[in-house]
Amino acid sequence: MAAGYNDWQQGAAEGLNIGFKMGQAYSNALNGVNVTGFNDQVDIYNAWVRSNFGEDPNLLMSKMEAPVDLSKPYLKTNATSDGGIVHKIDGNTASNSTYTTNDINLLSDSVIAKYHAQEEAKKNAGYTPTGDGFLGGI
């Protein structure tokens, strides 16, 4: 029956098939099963998007970087200076460093102080602070 499809229908069917596989892989990865398989499927999906739509950032997917089991401590650091030099989290971080974590205790004292200062500024501006339970990117 697929042989009778026109080009648009064949492309749509292929896209639906890839999307379904992405959904299965994503669901498995969220449950801690085969994160690498999800990332492999992202490569297949992105290759299909590029061949059909080009470099459309609205359609391209990112690989899963965070561990799925967020009951374990996790810290992702983007600590690069303007020169591209990566710094350790030692309190002497570049001004444009960002951190993603599920455990504030993994951060240096200076980063925690910066986070609390940001939350205090939000509070003073009339916004509700998020607190230490959620770190939306410092």
The domain limits of the chain are 2-53, 75-124
AA identity, residue 24? Q
**Torsion sign, CA atoms 12, 44, 100, 68:** positive
The pLDDT score that the predictor gives to residue 96 is 62
AA identity, residue 67? P
The pLDDT score that the predictor gives to residue 91 is 46
The pLDDT score that the predictor gives to residue 82 is 46
Cα–Cα distances (Å) from 127 to 31, 118, 121, in that order, read 34, 11, 9
**Cβ-based neighbour number of residue 135 at 10 Å:** 19
The pLDDT score that the predictor gives to residue 108 is 81
**Cβ-based neighbour number of residue 24 at 10 Å:** 13
The pLDDT score that the predictor gives to residue 50 is 92
The pLDDT score that the predictor gives to residue 87 is 47
Q: Going from the first residue of the chain to its last (138 residues), give the mean pLDDT of each consecutive group of 10, the final group possibly shorter.
A: 80 88 84 80 90 88 71 62 47 59 77 83 78 53
Whole-model pTM?
0.46
The pLDDT score that the predictor gives to residue 43 is 92
In contact, 110 and 93? CB cutoff 8 Å: yes
